Structure 1
Amino acid sequence: MPPSRFAASIEVPGLAARRIAADILDGVLHKHRTLDDQLDGTGAHPGLKTLADRDRALMRRLVSTILRRLGTLGHLLSRLLDRGIPTDAPRAQSALLIGAAQILWMDVPDHAAVDLSVRLVQSDRRAAKYAGLVNAVLRRCAREGHALVDEVRTQTLDLPHWLFARWAAHYGEATAREMALAIANEPSLDLTVKSDPAQWASRLHGEMLPTGTVRTLLHGSVTMLPGFPEGQWWVQDAAAALPARLFGDIKDKRIADLCAAPGGKTAQLAYAGAQVTAVDRSPARMARLRDNLARLSLSAECIVADAVEWPGDGDGFDGILLDAPCTSTGTIRRHPDVAWLRQEAEIATLAALQKRLLQKAVTLLKSGGTLVYCTCSLEPEEGEQPIAALLGSESGLRRVPITPSEVAGLSELLTADGDLRTLPCHLPHADARLGGLDGFYAARLVKS
C-alpha cells in the first residue's frame, strides 16, 4: 500500500483504522481470505503495525460488527439506494457498510461516521466519484436506518440461507432462530485458568461459569491482562474446553492430540499431567503452539505431520484426542467471517477427511484406550454421522456416554446417545454478551 494512503490518517483521527477495516472486509468478501489470516502472522495487513491499540480495537470491532450483521446491512442499503450498491468500486461498498454499522450499532456520532466514510471513498481513485452518494445515503441512514432495521428484526438475514435452512431442519426452526440471535451478539472473552477460577474471575472483572471457565467482557490486547505474562491462563471458548476433560484422570498417561494447533487442548492435557504428543500439519501453527506452551510453562512433544499419514511411535497411545478439521460453523459467534466464506459443498469434502482421521486414530490407540473425537461444527455430517458410521464398521469400539456430572450438571449439553452437543444459544445470561457457547460436538469411544 503506498505511503500516501496512510498520510491522511495522521491528519484525520480514526481514518487509518477505517481504511484498514475496508481492506480487510474486501479481503473477506471479495478475495475469500479469513480474518485470522489478515489479522495475524505473515499474511497480516501491513498497516496494523501503524495503529495504536485503541484504533486496532476499533478496526476489529468494525469488521466483526459488519460481518455479524452483513445480511441486515445489505437489506438496509438496498432500501436506501435506488440502484443498489455500486459494484465497480469495492471501496464504496465498504464505506457504506462501515458508515452504516457505526450509525446503527456503535457508539460513534453520526456526523463522524458519515464524514469518515466520505473521506474513505475520496481517497480511492475508483470510488471517489461516489463520495456524494455515500454522503447522501449515510445521512439518510442516520435519519431512517433504525426504523428500517426494526421493520425486519430478524437475525436470520445475517446467516446464509443454506446454513439457516440446515440448522432449522436438524435442530428445529425455533432453536435455529435462538442460535442466530446468539451469534448476533459480540461474544465474551473466555479463559481456561490453571487454578482458582473464582479468584481470576474477580481479578479480571468477570464471572466463573459452572464448568470452571472464566468469562469476562474485557477487550483489547489479552497480553496486557493480569496473569498473561505469568502463564496463568489461556484463551479458550468454554465449549472448546470440554472435550479434553472427557478422558478422566490422565496423569502419566500417553495422549496424542491430533490436529493440535493452536494448542488450547494440548495445554489442558499437559497441565493435567499427561505425556502429550501434539501433531499438526502446519509448521506455522505448530510454532504458535510451541510459543503458547512455553508461556504456560508446559511441555509436549510437538510433531509437524499430516495426522492421516503419521505412523505414530509403534507403542500405541492410552488416549487420542482428535479435534478434526471441519467447516467451523459452530464458531461463527467468534469468527463471523466463517458464515460468508464457507460453502455447503465443503461439508462432504471435510466429512471424508474426518472419516480418514477417525480410522487412523483407531489404529494409534492401545487396546482399552480412549478416543475423544470433536469438531467445532454444527453440521451432523461432521459430528453424529461419522461416529455412527465408525461404530457400525468397527466392532472393537464402544461408546462411553458422557454423564451430566462431567459437564457441571448441564444435561442440556448432552444428546440422547450421551455425546456432547453445545449450541450458540446454550448457557443464556441476562446480559446477552455473557451468554452463549461455541457449537461443539464430542463423542467418547473406548477400544476393546
Structure 2
Amino acid sequence: MRNPRFLALTTLEKVENGAFIQDAFDPKGLKEADRNLAETIVYGTVQNKLFLDYVIHRFVKKPENLDQNIRQLLRMALYQMHFLDRVPDHAIVNETVKMAKVISNVGASGLVNGVLRQVIREKDEAFKVHIDDEVRRLAVTYSFPEEWVRYFQRLLKDETEAFLKSTFDPAPLTLRPVSVSAEALIGELEEDGFACESIKPRPAVVVKHPRGLFETEAYKEGRFYVQDAASQAVVSLFTTDKEVQAMDLCAAPGGKSFQMAEIFAHVDAFDASAERLVRMEENIRRLGYKNIATAVRDGKTPLPKKKYDRILVDAPCTGLGLIRRKPEIKYRVGYDDVLQLARVQRLLLENAYDALNDGGELVYSTCSVTVEENEGVLHSFLSDHPECRLKEKGTRYWPHRHGTDGFTMACIVRKDA
C-alpha cells in the first residue's frame, strides 16, 4: 500500500524541480481517502510555501543549510498542523520523523523532531506573522513574491489583500452545457446524485462534489465540457453569424473552439502543439462537432492566405489568473516574463490580423490579469492600426470580484476598407 505522505513528498520534490502539480501527482494505488489527503497536502504546501518557510526560519538556526527534502518535510508537517485538523499534532510529528529517518539521517530526523515539538509548545503563536512592513507582511501571509505584491498594489490599491486571499479559495469545477440547456444538464446530473447550480456570466453549471462526474452518461455522450465561467465569456464578445468562417489561433485544449463551432459555419482550430491537438480531437469526437478542422500551426509565423470573418487569439500568457488552480505559477513567473510574453502576444495578434477580413472581428484574450499582457498589447496594436476600433470596452474577471478565474478579453473590429 502506498503511503500518501510519501507521495506528497515526491510530488513536491518534482514541483520544486519545475513540474506542474497536475502532471507530477500520480495517486495510482491509493484509496480515495489517502488520495484526498495527499492532494490536499501537496496543494496546501505549495500555496503556503513562503509562509511555511517563514515559520521554519523562526525555529531553525541555519535554515539556509537545510537539505531540500527536509525542508519539504517540515513544510508538509507545518501545513498539516496549522491548516488541517483531521490528524493530531503528535501523530504528524511521529509520521514526519519516521519519513526523515528514511530519506536522510539521524541528525536530520532529530532536527525535524525538535522543530515540530517546539512549534507544538508555542501553539498558535508559532504561526503568527510579526512583520511591520506591509509588502513583506502580505508576501509572507499569502505566500506571494514581493515583486507581485507591489505590482498588484499599484493595480488594485485597497483590493490587493482581497485578491491575494482569493487565490487560496478552491477553484470551482464549472461545466458548459453542450447541446442541452443548463437546466436540463443540472436535472440529469442531480438525478445521478451531484449537487449543481447555474451561475453567471454564462449559462455555466458548477458541480460542488465532482468525484465520478466523468463516468456519467452526460459526460460520455458529450453533454458538457469543463470550462471556467470567465473562459466561457470570451466567445460571447463575437457577433454571432452562422454563415461565416472562423479561426482559433491558439486553440488547444479547445473549449473556445467548441463554442465558436456552435455560432459559426466553420472553425479552423490551430495550435503549435500536436500533442494538445490530439486531446482536443478526442473531445471533438465526444462532443459531436462536425465543423471544426484542426491543424498544427505556430501562430508566431505567417499564416496561410485564407481570410476569416471571426478570429480568436487566446494567447499564451503568464497564467496569473489561474493561481487557484496552479499555485506554483506565482513562484515561477516574474515581471521579465510578462514583458517577454507581451512581445509574443503582440506578434500573434499581428499575424492573426493579417488573416482578418474587412469588417471582421478579432477577439484577444488571456488568462492573465497584468496590464502589459492585455491593455498594453491592445494599445500597441491599435496604435499601429488606426483602421481598427474596440467593439466595446474590454472586460477583466477577477477571482475576488467574480469568483471565476482571472481572465481579460476584448474584441477588435476591422473597419471596412
Per the alignment, residue 270 of structure 1 pairs with 261
How far apart are residue 17 of structure 1 and its match? Answer: 2.2
Per the alignment, residue 32 of structure 1 pairs with 18
**1:80 maps onto 2:59 in alignment:** yes
- 1:93–1:346 distance in 2 versus 1, CA, 3 Å: same
Per the alignment, residue 359 of structure 1 pairs with 350
How far apart are residue 245 of structure 1 and its match? Answer: 1.4
Per the alignment, residue 195 of structure 2 pairs with 205
Letter in 1 for 2:169: N
Letter in 1 for 2:44: T
Taking the aligned partners of 2:176 and 2:56, their CA distance within structure 1 comes to 41
8 Å contact from structure 1 (residues 86, 92) kept in 2:
no
Match runs of 1:116-265 below 5 Å: 116-124=95-103, 126=104, 129-151=107-129, 156-157=139-140, 158-172=143-157, 174-194=158-178, 195-201=180-186, 203=190, 204-211=194-201, 212-220=203-211, 222-224=213-215, 227-265=218-256
8 Å contact from structure 2 (residues 138, 144) kept in 1:
yes
Taking the aligned partners of 2:328 and 2:265, their CA distance within structure 1 comes to 35
Taking the aligned partners of 2:59 and 2:77, their CA distance within structure 1 comes to 13
Look up the SS of the partner of 2:267 in the other structure.
strand
How far apart are residue 199 of structure 1 and its match? Answer: 4.5
- 1:353–1:117 distance in 2 versus 1, CA, 3 Å: same
8 Å contact from structure 2 (residues 138, 149) kept in 1:
no
**1:339 maps onto 2:357 in alignment:** no
8 Å contact from structure 1 (residues 261, 286) kept in 2:
yes
Match runs of 1:275-294 below 5 Å: 275-294=266-285
Taking the aligned partners of 2:106 and 2:215, their CA distance within structure 1 comes to 40
Per the alignment, residue 388 of structure 1 pairs with 379
Letter in 2 for 1:34: F
Q: Which moved more, 1:381-390 or 1:243-252?
A: 243-252
How far apart are residue 128 of structure 1 and its match? Answer: 5.2
- 1:254–1:440 distance in 2 versus 1, CA, 3 Å: same
Taking the aligned partners of 1:170 and 1:85, their CA distance within structure 2 comes to 34
How far apart are residue 79 of structure 1 and its match? Answer: 2.1
8 Å contact from structure 2 (residues 182, 205) kept in 1:
yes
Per the alignment, residue 134 of structure 2 pairs with none
Per the alignment, residue 40 of structure 2 pairs with 61
Taking the aligned partners of 1:73 and 1:38, their CA distance within structure 2 comes to 21
8 Å contact from structure 2 (residues 195, 207) kept in 1:
yes
Taking the aligned partners of 1:147 and 1:250, their CA distance within structure 2 comes to 62
How far apart are residue 108 of structure 1 and its match? Answer: 2.8
Taking the aligned partners of 2:374 and 2:323, their CA distance within structure 1 comes to 17
What is the aligned counterpart of 1:437 among 393, 397, 404?
404
Identity %: 27
Taking the aligned partners of 2:34 and 2:287, their CA distance within structure 1 comes to 29
Look up the SS of the partner of 2:399 in the other structure.
coil
8 Å contact from structure 2 (residues 246, 264) kept in 1:
no
8 Å contact from structure 2 (residues 50, 144) kept in 1:
yes
8 Å contact from structure 1 (residues 156, 180) kept in 2:
no
8 Å contact from structure 1 (residues 53, 221) kept in 2:
no
Q: Which moved more, 1:244-253 or 1:362-371?
A: 244-253
Taking the aligned partners of 1:145 and 1:339, their CA distance within structure 2 comes to 29
Match runs of 1:358-377 below 5 Å: 358-377=349-368
**1:51 maps onto 2:30 in alignment:** yes
Q: For 1:115-164, what per-residue CA distance to the aligned partner results, in whole angstroms no more than 9, with x for missing partners?
A: 3322322221x355311222232333345353443545965421111111
Structure 2 residue runs without a partner (length 5+): 132-136
Aligned length: 399
Per the alignment, residue 7 of structure 1 pairs with none
Letter in 1 for 2:396: R
How far apart are residue 226 of structure 1 and its match? Answer: 6.2
Q: For 1:286-305, what per-residue CA distance to the aligned partner results, in whole angstroms no more than 9, with x for missing partners?
A: 11111222222224211111
Taking the aligned partners of 2:257 and 2:35, their CA distance within structure 1 comes to 29
TM-score (norm 1): 0.83
How far apart are residue 423 of structure 1 and its match? Answer: 1.3
